[in-house]
Chain A
Amino acid sequence: KNEVEQSPQNLTAQEGEFITINCSYSVGISALHWLQQHPGGGIVSLFMLSSGKKKHGRLIATINIQEKHSSLHITASHPRDSAVYICAVMYNNNDMRFGAGTRLTVKP
């Protein structure tokens, strides 16, 4: 069974800290998403990766296809970054599965 493992499950940081969230998957994929979910449930796609690295503002996402691993980094974290971050992988058979999510709390 395909699995997507995400760590840590919960993360508390002080404002300004550098944050890393990790995602590992077990079989080959066509793409990986990093998603953000704020209280209330709405999900926003932050990044879609198939290789390399992407940057958007203070957010950086990397993927290592050989190691089947991706990381989401937040630089200079801010309380408004507090949310659940979810890794989602798209398999070659069009199936899409999710990690369990990382609940991030950034304290002022």
Chain B
Amino acid sequence: DVKVTQSSRYLVKRTGEKVFLECVQDMDHENMFWYRQDPGLGLRLIYFSYDVKMKEKGDIPEGYSVSREKKERFSLILESASTNQTSMYLCASCYSTGAVEAFFGQGTRLTVV
């Protein structure tokens, strides 16, 4: 089975902390995505990556950065966490060619206090 694993299910961080959310997939997928999910707003794309060291901004990249040093790992970084970044964060991955099925992590619920 394809697995997309997010490093934490629940996180509580303080305002101003640097936060790392990790996502690892084991199927050699080229594409990886980070989304946040908020009530009434649905899932919004923060960043996606289509290859190692490649990244594209999504709809809401402000306050976030990403790192893709290895194909299997896509990290989301909150440089200085703020309370408005309290959210559910979801990682997804898929192959890059053809009609492909996407796979999702279990989500990380981040609370910034």
Contacts and interface: CB of A to CB of B under 8 A. Distances in A.
A55 to B, nearest CB: 17
A96 B30 CA distance: 13
A48 B101 contact: yes
Contact of A101 (B42, B90, B92, B94): B42
A90 B48 CA distance: 12
Interface residues of B, number: 30
Given A94-B31, A98-B35, A45 B103 contact: yes
A98 B100 contact: no
Interface residues of A, number: 22
B102 A45 contact: yes
Contacts of A86: 42-43
A94 B43 CA distance: 17
Interface in B22-75: 30-31, 33, 35, 37, 40-45, 48, 50, 56, 58
**What is the predominant secondary structure among interface residues of chain A facing chain B?**
strand
B98 A94 contact: no
B48 A94 contact: yes
B7 interface: no
Contact of A30 (B43, B100, B104): B100
A95 interface: yes
A81 to B, nearest CB: 19
A35 interface: yes
A94 B99 contact: no
B82 interface: no
A98 B88 contact: no
Given A35-B104, A94-B50, A96-B33, A43 B45 contact: no
* Interface hub of B43, B45, B58 (most chain A Cβ within 10 A): B43
The 4 closest A-B pairs by CB, nearest first: A50-B99, A41-B107, A100-B42, A98-B43
8 contacts: A31-B100, A41-B107, A50-B99, A94-B30, A94-B50, A96-B45, A96-B102, A101-B43
